Structure 1
């Protein structure tokens, strides 16, 4: 398979490192508002992402954090806010100019944030397909609007690499565009559009399947929101193509015998007259107390056709506290 599009991607981000381009490929990532955290202006201008990745709740107990595709270093600085330890955050990038720009930005970040030291972040040259990171050494790994650039074989390899470096029960947090509309071949094969995070978007179901096929036993869909339109006036398509951005957390849990637990925001509510309902598979529903359920459990409960159990549709938002 040709990988010329990867070289096109490198060239685009070399230019973006030397001459910041606000919103180059995506809707910019929301900036965390935290006491004592100041994001230098140049970091904000180099904020090339399509959503949020890591949530502060992922950063408890001094985790070792890996971020692939450093941009201007903004997310690395945000992660360091929670770890505050030498080498607690590892940033990987294949573009020398981007690594150098981040180093300069960290000098400014040190000036405006008394708590921050550049040594909190370790920058390494490398790419997502061959991570220069030891096996089972990372608690939280993240990427923002990078994996959608890859074609299928490279995407599988990138996900496999993330799985390799994560500790058992470690978390892979991703933000990427997805698309349920057929993407014409002319757009898929356009190297620049792919590098700009537009034409590589997969249907969400296919994206999740690639993640679980690698071995991740639990997948959480944390957010899903409108993102871009590719229209016939500007792109090689005869109809509107609607693209959404999705925020996903994949957990390196053991794979259940009956398949992965995928949370898409479904909820089960028991409204019967008994003190509780027990499905004898580890799920107990208390009266009128909503329980977030994975799609698998939701389907099993729905199949019972119990007149006093309601299963909601997917909301594409999951914030923890579920059935598994």
Structure 2
């Protein structure tokens, strides 16, 4: 089965969910999100197949963002793709180097830019060309000089060893097929004493196979939710310490809108995830 419009991979829910299939599904879906003529549209195959991003300030405030941060964002930097606010947990300091995993159109990266100031640097990595193009256009138009958007995959970061003070990410690790490798790469690029502060979706139970193999649900930030115990093991085996995973029960209210009628909010929940490199 494929989409009638463009034969898009993310809609081919019967395809084998290999790592390559997942990456291509995610890449195609988010390319459509950022290039859609309809602002904030995340349409894939129709209602219930792919979630529709919510780009309103009200939704961002529910995730924990302050209005003053939202007021200063470039146009359409907020694509409504987050599930929390990693910036608050990161406690950024002026002069730090920050890495944003899955930086999209630059939403969290631009907020981080203001936090670290002109002596700091924010590196945004995204695997979607269209997102990098949009983020760079936003940075140029708004005069951000302390940000560097790079095309690349989270499992193979285009970032030097031990060069980053803080890693942030917002509802992106769930989209990565090889999450163990993603955390190994995160550990590699962090400085000694560096910290990880991300928001993502997690689950306490293994999701049904029918969900895990649905590429539309994977691209929609649901099928790739990590079991909490597995997430802890990935972080520990990578070398992280001081691991803290804090589920946000209130997130079920907006997650239920991502796949209406499927009741996946009973299994999937947003969480703050923090850890430190010794």
- Which interval holds the TM-score relative to the shorter structure? 0.7 to 0.9
1:119 has 2:145 as partner: yes
Conserved in 2, the CA contact under 8 Å of 1:86 and 1:121?
no
Q: CA RMSD in A?
A: 2.8
* Residue pairs, 1:34-183, within 5 angstroms: 34=68, 38-44=72-78, 46-55=79-88, 58-85=91-118, 88-108=121-141, 110=142, 117-151=143-177, 154-183=178-207
Shift of 1:102: 1.2
Q: C-alpha separation between the residues in 1 aligned to 2:53 and 2:267?
A: 16
* Residue pairs, 1:179-190, within 5 angstroms: 179-190=203-214
Q: How many residues align?
A: 241
TM-score normalised to the size of structure 1?
0.67
Higher-RCO chain (CA-CA 8 Å, sequence separation at least 6): 2
Conserved in 1, the CA contact under 8 Å of 2:52 and 2:258?
no
* Residue pairs, 1:1-324, within 5 angstroms: 2-19=19-36, 20-21=39-40, 24=52, 28=60, 29-34=63-68, 38-44=72-78, 46-55=79-88, 58-85=91-118, 88-108=121-141, 110=142, 117-151=143-177, 154-222=178-246, 224-225=248-249, 226-227=251-252, 228-229=255-256, 234-235=261-262, 241-253=266-278
Shift of 1:24: 3.6
Unaligned runs of 5+ residues in structure 1 are 111-116, 254-324
Q: C-alpha separation between the residues in 2 aligned to 1:97 and 1:35?
A: 24
Shift of 1:150: 2.8
Conserved in 1, the CA contact under 8 Å of 2:196 and 2:274?
yes
Give the match's secondary structure for 2:154: coil
Structure possessing the higher radius of gyration over alpha carbons:
1
Conserved in 2, the CA contact under 8 Å of 1:174 and 1:247?
yes
Structure number having the greater helix percentage? 2
Conserved in 2, the CA contact under 8 Å of 1:231 and 1:241?
no
CA gap 1:142/1:198 in 2 versus in 1, 3 angstroms: same
Q: C-alpha separation between the residues in 1 aligned to 2:30 and 2:24?
A: 10
Q: C-alpha separation between the residues in 2 aligned to 1:211 and 1:217?
A: 8
Conserved in 1, the CA contact under 8 Å of 2:212 and 2:218?
yes
CA gap 1:163/1:34 in 2 versus in 1, 3 angstroms: same
CA gap 1:90/1:124 in 2 versus in 1, 3 angstroms: same
Conserved in 1, the CA contact under 8 Å of 2:195 and 2:277?
yes
Q: C-alpha separation between the residues in 1 aligned to 2:234 and 2:217?
A: 22
Superposed CA deviations along residues 246-298 of structure 1, whole A, max 9, x for unmatched, are 01111112xxxxxxxxxxxxxxxxxxxxxxxxxxxxxxxxxxxxxxxxxxxxx
Shift of 1:54: 2.4
Unaligned runs of 5+ residues in structure 2 are 1-17, 42-50
